[in-house]
Amino acid sequence: MGNNDTKLLESLLNAPVSGRILSKDMDKFVKDCCSGEKPPCRCACPLDLDIVALNTKLQKGNFNSAYTMYRDKVLFPGIVSRICDQPCCSACVRKGIDDSIDMLKLEKAIVEYTRSTMPVKYNIPKKSKKIAILGAGLCGLSCTIKLASHGYDVSIFEKSDRVGGKLWGLLSPEIFIAEIENQMQYLNYDLKLYTEVETIGELKDDFDAVLIATGKDGESFGMLEGLNRDSLGSLQAGIFLA
């Protein structure tokens, strides 16, 4: 992004209501911004959702295609569409004219109007690598979908008696449990409830990699010391923090 575009973006985000730029200038910026580089909204999304492409599908009424794109990124559309805090809105260049796009409403519409929310079932050859995931919250379950759908042998260790983690304080269990069961119905994985792992050493001999998805409790495993912020790998080979 060039200096002129950067200045234009700053004017879009900081201009007072009475002095906002004309729509033709906005069109020019959007065209330049989306040419060869990620637009600001996508950069702000922690899941790297291509919001421009998604909205293009919605404008054409392609809800099924939009759902497929959305599901591939968020993994649990029926959950994320209810709890997304829309970080993309703070970066939306449309704010320079009127207001940012209300993505949460669009996300809900994608889930509501798609023809089917059933996941695609693939016949993936089984891999020999075994992965242990600590924590059956949204993060741990999302990692399970990614790994199990690629054929890895996944075991989830959850110290409580239920999956969902912090979702229990955010949504009705009737909503998120049904979505978890729906999106994971074709996957092969081993869920171990009432199973607390106190040290990583307990798993090293039986698994090729361990992914810690327990939130702040990752610190208790010594994960923050020597953590590679780029790869989220640690000084311990095969140990990762989600």
Cβ–Cβ under 8 Å, residues 145 and 53: no
What is the pLDDT confidence band of residue 100, given thresholds at 50, 70 and 90?
Answer: confident
How many C-beta neighbours within 10 Å does residue 152 have?
Answer: 20
Q: Pairing relation of β-strands 130-134 and 153-157?
A: parallel
Residue 232 scores a pLDDT above 70: no
Instruction: Tell me whether residue 121 is in a domain.
Output: no
Residue 7 scores a pLDDT above 70: no
Instruction: Tell me whether residue 237 is in a domain.
Output: yes
Residues 146 and 172 in one domain: yes
Determine the structural domain holding residue 167 and report its residue range: 130-241
pLDDT number for residue 137? 95
Cβ–Cβ under 8 Å, residues 182 and 78: yes
Interval 102-144: pLDDT, tens: 899 999 999 999 999 999 888 889 999 999 999 999 999 999 9
Residues 39 and 65 in one domain: yes
Instruction: Tell me whether residue 118 is in a domain.
Output: no
Hey, which residues does 132 pair with through a beta bridge? 155, 210
Residues 95 and 158 in one domain: no
What is the pLDDT confidence band of residue 17, given thresholds at 50, 70 and 90?
Answer: very low
Residues 101 and 153 in one domain: no
Task: Using the 3D structure, point to which of 83, 113, 143 is the last residue of a domain.
Answer: 113
Instruction: Tell me whether residue 125 is in a domain.
Output: no
In angstroms, the CA 20 to CA 14 distance is: 9
Hey, which residues does 133 pair with through a beta bridge? 156, 211
Residues 71 and 153 in one domain: no
Instruction: Tell me whether residue 199 is in a domain.
Output: yes
Residues 103 and 134 in one domain: no
pLDDT number for residue 98? 72
Per the model's pLDDT, the better-predicted residue between 163 and 95 turns out to be: 163
Among 10-24, 26-40, 158-172, 189-203, the minimum mean pLDDT is found in 10-24
pLDDT number for residue 184? 97
Among 9-13, 48-52, 77-81, 107-111, the minimum mean pLDDT is found in 9-13
Residues 236 and 135 in one domain: yes
Q: Look at the chain and report how many structural domains it folds into.
A: 2
For tokens 């906005």, what's the residue?
A: 26
